[in-house]
Amino acid sequence: MREFKKLTPYREALRLVLDDLKEITDVEEVSLDDALGRVLAENIVSPIDSPPFDRSAVDGYALRAEDTFQAREYRPVELKVIDEIVAGDESEARVGPGTAVKLMTGSKMPEGANAVLMQEMAEREGDVIRVLRPVAPGQNVAFAGEDVKRGEVLLRKGHVLRPQDLALLKSVGFRSVRVKRKPLVGIIVTGDELIEEFDEDAIRAGKILESNSVMLRGLVRQYFGEPVFYGVVPDDEERIRNAIETAKGECDIVLVTGGSAFGDKDFAHRFVKLLFHGTTIKPGRPIGYGERVFVMSGYPAAVFTQFHLYVKHALAKLVGARDYEVRVRARLAEKVPSQLGRHEFIKVRYEDGVARPIRKKGSGIISALVESNGYIEIPEDSEGYLEGETVEVSLY
Amino acid sequence: MREFKKLTPYREALRLVLDDLKEITDVEEVSLDDALGRVLAENIVSPIDSPPFDRSAVDGYALRAEDTFQAREYRPVELKVIDEIVAGDESEARVGPGTAVKLMTGSKMPEGANAVLMQEMAEREGDVIRVLRPVAPGQNVAFAGEDVKRGEVLLRKGHVLRPQDLALLKSVGFRSVRVKRKPLVGIIVTGDELIEEFDEDAIRAGKILESNSVMLRGLVRQYFGEPVFYGVVPDDEERIRNAIETAKGECDIVLVTGGSAFGDKDFAHRFVKLLFHGTTIKPGRPIGYGERVFVMSGYPAAVFTQFHLYVKHALAKLVGARDYEVRVRARLAEKVPSQLGRHEFIKVRYEDGVARPIRKKGSGIISALVESNGYIEIPEDSEGYLEGETVEVSLY
């Protein structure tokens, strides 16, 4: 049996992948409702000022600040309320000396007024208010363009759209937005040992229920992609070759699980000109990449690791996504030793500022993935971390 | 104009909401592929052991540990390789004294063997391996049930399903799973000042582009719900009453934006028997709840706050979701003063362990929501936090 001649360092392998892939240029125009979670294809520039006019930031009375400069609690200033407006309406009144206009948060400032007195600060009797303290010019006024200026970049290319972003876009007049096409991700699962349906006898005889495909479809959807499943292919040279060729022709990238090592039945890597094969990551060392094809491990936990360390970043590169990871600082609950020369992926449970390593080992151990909600990475040149050390956790 | 007679403390108001709502009992059986992000309706118990048999955790040689106890580098023990198996196949061979079987990670342990020697540790020549060091009984063996035991609870009711959870379910034989029905969330947006289409003249005249509906639809989808939009309703008593009645009849909960204050045109709260009206939260004080209806502010930033402080938790209660929030510890970049008696919702930008408050004010300021990626809460009995203090950030 052959072994990997050379283990490519993780960072170098990742760079080879990212340098090889090109950002998708296809753009789709989608309604704002369909844009949640999609990646902006271009900078969004505001076509208008927001607010489009000076407006009140509180419920209260629009007035001339200078009229209130002499106001004291023991010597209130009295102003006459000449009009009352509500949001969306507009007062025709002009605020002159000694007068005020009642308005609400969001109301357009009436002509002549330059400040707003908060309702709670005014004593009202009939159509007169008594002002007890001076109001500064501009106080409680939201000036035109204060939220957003016409021509200002609201959101940048590569931004992943959230509900509040959609609100901002809608509030300045957009009804649709241009986003990147979702990359098509071909998924091919290989292995004679795999079965699709529960069969107790088969399982006792050593067969394994295939679980990579459902996991990868979910992960691909989480990270901007559209999965295309090409089924479970037995360890047959010709059939694997055909599946890879078909998927390469139809998809932006292809994920093949199984066949990444050097067993007699590991065919997948023979049909792809790999830029590297075998890396320093653990678990998940046997991975190769070339010609837009990832040849991955067959073991679910290793596939999960390889997805997060390579494929996730590849998908982000394809759509140009920024800020697609949630990384948090945490105190390590116990020490995590690591072997020099390995880039380790350590599953952790993050809670209340503390990261607890999930100790279960073995690349087939799915329950450890389930217990964890994130991972830490330990690069090749580190012997690990001490208990209590601050580490960076990538949440998933 | 009337004012809130009493501001209900935030925690008390939230408790009133959560006590009033009942967990949905309707269950849907969905395929694993459709289960991503859904909430488990019941505990999931494993029907099998996983692994279902003792298997090798590495590529190597299955042997009897006792045969190696005398092995030393200067006096290797020689074993005869009597069979070679790959994952998914099974060896008929019985490992007796002086023999070994070559196998791969995941291969079923052959009869008679009780340990595996890692391939890298064996020197092979023809069908003989030389063992240089003793191997302990059980070494490199993944025992039956080590990952998952038959009858073990794999995932609990209320768990929000992730890709790795689907893999675990699939690996023990599930093809579908029972999840909670998505709560239907009626959305009614009210306000004469609102327009749907960009119209420069209308905007100059004080009209506002409606943006709450698209934001709420996105938020509802993020938090387990299915939005049902009842449109933008003008400030007309009869029409608002009808919309609320219709939505209450068709949905699990109803969100009404606008009309939560006491203006002449604030009708919504008159048609609902509210358990509270007006709370200590800021921004977003004017909120009422009763009869499964949230009467919310009209201002997008206040609506966003109210969603996160109330509606998100209400939706989690309806589906019984656990672990639906990502809360992280952060160092505060600058001090945040807060008024006693207010439960403040402070938008922050979290990055590299530091939370930077977004200073923009005003409940209409959507751009502050967009700049932020989370929030901190300051309860009524706190005067705020100091620069450098550790705070808990809820990410969104």
What would the DSSP string read from start to end of A326-390? EEEEEEESS-EE--TT-EEEEEEEEETTEEEE----STT-HHHHHH-SEEEEE-TT--EE-TT-E
Q: Mean pLDDT in chain B?
A: 91
pLDDT for the residue A88? 62
Element (H, E) at A185: strand A184-190
Element (H, E) at B395: strand B390-395
Partner-chain contact B170 A53, CB within 8 Å: no
Q: Measure A214 CA to nearest chain B CA, in Å.
A: 6
Torsion, CA B146, CA B151, CA B155, CA B157, rounded to 10: -170
Residues of chain A with pLDDT under 50: 1, 363
Q: Across the interface, which of A86, A211, A329 has its CB nearest the CB of B265?
A: A86
Least confident residue range of A246-255, B9-18, B354-363, B364-373: B354-363
pLDDT for the residue B59? 83
pTM for the model stands at: 0.90
Q: Tokens 């595996």 — which residue?
A: B116
pLDDT band with cut points at 50, 70 and 90 for residue B1: very low
Partnered with residue B154 across adjacent β-strands are none
pLDDT for the residue A1? 38
pLDDT for the residue A136? 95
Identify the three-state secondary structure at position A6: coil
Q: Which domains does chain A have, with CATH numbers?
A: 10-25+181-319 (3.40.980.10), 28-49+151-180 (3.90.105.10), 55-142 (2.170.190.11), 327-395 (2.40.340.10)
Partner-chain contact B366 A164, CB within 8 Å: yes
Q: Does B201 touch chain A (CB under 8 A)?
A: no
Nearest-CA residue of chain A relative to B223? Answer: A163
Partner-chain contact A192 B155, CB within 8 Å: no
Alpha carbon distances (Å) from B175 to A187, A331, B17, B27, B305: 19, 38, 36, 16, 39
Task: Name, in order, each residue with C-beta under 8 angstroms of B252's C-beta and a sequence gap of 6 or more.
Answer: B24, B183, B184, B185, B292, B318
Nearest-CA residue of chain A relative to B222? Answer: A163
Q: Does A360 touch chain B (CB under 8 A)?
A: yes
Q: Does A107 touch chain B (CB under 8 A)?
A: yes
**Is residue A59 within 8 Å of residue A119, measured between CB atoms?**
yes
Count CB pairs under 8 A between chains A and B. 262
Torsion, CA A330, CA A331, CA A335, CA A340, rounded to 10: 40
Tokens of residue B145, six digits: 């049930």
How would you classify the pairing of strands B208-209 and B194-195?
parallel
Segment B177-199, tens digit of pLDDT: 999 999 999 999 998 889 988 89
Q: Does A104 touch chain B (CB under 8 A)?
A: yes
Between positions 47 and 66 of B, the ones with CB within 8 A of A are 47-48, 50-53, 57, 59
Segment B281-332, tens digit of pLDDT: 888 788 999 999 999 998 898 999 999 999 999 999 999 999 999 999 999 9
Partner-chain contact B163 A216, CB within 8 Å: yes
Taking CB atoms and an 8 Å cutoff, what residues of chain A touch B353?
328-329, 390
Partner-chain contact B206 A88, CB within 8 Å: yes
Identify the three-state secondary structure at position B314: helix
Segment B76-97, tens digit of pLDDT: 999 999 999 876 677 889 999 9
Q: What's the CA gap between B97 and A279, in Å, rounded?
A: 37
Tokens of residue B17, six digits: 């909401």
Element (H, E) at A281: strand A281-282
pLDDT for the residue A92? 86
Residue with more model confidence, A56 or B374: B374
Averaged pLDDT, B13-17: 98
Between positions 265 and 294 of A, the ones with CB within 8 A of B are 265
Q: Measure A253 CA to nearest chain B CA, in Å.
A: 19
How would you classify the pairing of strands B184-190 and B226-233?
parallel
Q: Does A391 touch chain B (CB under 8 A)?
A: no
Q: What's the CA gap between B369 and B358, in Å, rounded?
A: 8
Segment B334-361, tens digit of pLDDT: 999 998 999 999 999 999 999 999 976 6
Between positions 238 and 257 of A, the ones with CB within 8 A of B are none
In terms of phi and psi (left: phi > 0; alpha: psi -120 to 50; beta: otherwise), the region of A365 is beta
Alpha carbon distances (Å) from B320 to B26, B28, B140, B226: 12, 14, 41, 16
Segment B102-117, tens digit of pLDDT: 998 778 899 999 999 9
Taking CB atoms and an 8 Å cutoff, what residues of chain A touch B44?
none
In chain A, % helix, strand, coil (3-state, to 5) comes to 25, 35, 45
Partner-chain contact B155 A264, CB within 8 Å: no
Partner-chain contact B33 A142, CB within 8 Å: no
**Is residue B289 within 8 Å of residue B16, measured between CB atoms?**
yes
pLDDT for the residue B262? 59
Partner-chain contact A162 B396, CB within 8 Å: yes
